[in-house]
Amino acid sequence: MVARGERPPLQRETIVAAARELIREAGLEALSLRRLAERLGVTAPALYAHVRDKTDLLRAVAEGEFLALVAAYARVEDREPVERMRAHARAYIAVARNEPEMFRVMVLFPPELGPADLPDDAELPAATAAFALAAGAVEEAAAAGAITTDDVLLTTLTFFAAAHGVATVLGLGFGLPPELEDRMIDEMLDRLIAGYRTPAGTLRPL
């Protein structure tokens, strides 16, 4: 515990950072305001001047992780739209591979599925921003004729579901070799994109 005389003024950013580190070290279930207060060298009631409750704290942690995901998405904005779709899926899955406990926090706060203009009352603006960027790549790919879709939202959700499914499988603890994990990601993306590149009506029934 930090000595009282050595402790800097308590700030929300400090609390959120400490919560993130506690989750990374001990897992999501380990987070409690009491345990966090002990780590920061304060009493639990002192935290309530900066965070409303545990949900508010988790929301703040998730917001930071989604902001990092948005930055990863933004770094591929100059690519061809289908390649951006691939890069978005890989960036999302990378969170689950590299920061599994942070991934668990993020999925507690799904994005809004409305228009790209973010509503003021969005549950988590950064999550909605990430989804809007993903939808934008799908929309551009469809407009360019690179994929065939009549429903951008449905297609975006389908790619999200596929990426989330792979991310979840990788977190099950199978201990797969990294190269096999990479092949599974490639397989998912290649098969899914190939299906959307097939003109409607050309697939034969099984």
Cα torsion angle, 150, 92, 19, 50, sign: negative
State residue 123's pLDDT score: 74
Q: What is the pLDDT of residues 159-184, one digit of tens each?
A: 999 999 999 999 998 999 999 999 99
State residue 116's pLDDT score: 46
State residue 31's pLDDT score: 96
Report DSSP state, residue 203. P
Rounded to whole angstroms, what are the CA distances from 7 to 2, 3, 32, 55, 100? 6, 6, 21, 25, 31
- CA distance linking residue 168 with residue 109, whole number of Å: 16
- CA distance linking residue 32 with residue 180, whole number of Å: 36
Q: Does domain 4-51 have CATH number 1.10.10.60?
A: yes
CA angle 143/135/75 to nearest 5° reads 100
The answer to whether the pTM exceeds 0.95 is no
Overall CATH class of domain 62-197: mainly alpha
State residue 188's pLDDT score: 98
State residue 88's pLDDT score: 97
State residue 204's pLDDT score: 44
Mention every residue, 6+ apart, whose C-beta is less than 8 A from residue 158.
Answer: 192
State residue 7's pLDDT score: 63
State residue 205's pLDDT score: 46
SS3 category, 47: helix
Cα torsion angle, 20, 23, 28, 31, sign: negative
What are the structure tokens assigned to 183, written together?
Answer: 């092949």
Radius of gyration of the chain (CA): 20
Residues of the chain with pLDDT under 70: 1-8, 114-122, 198-206
Q: Would you kindly state where each structural domain of the chain is located, as residue ranges?
A: 4-51, 62-197
What are the structure tokens assigned to 202, written together?
Answer: 């050309």
Beta strands in the chain (DSSP E): none
State residue 1's pLDDT score: 47
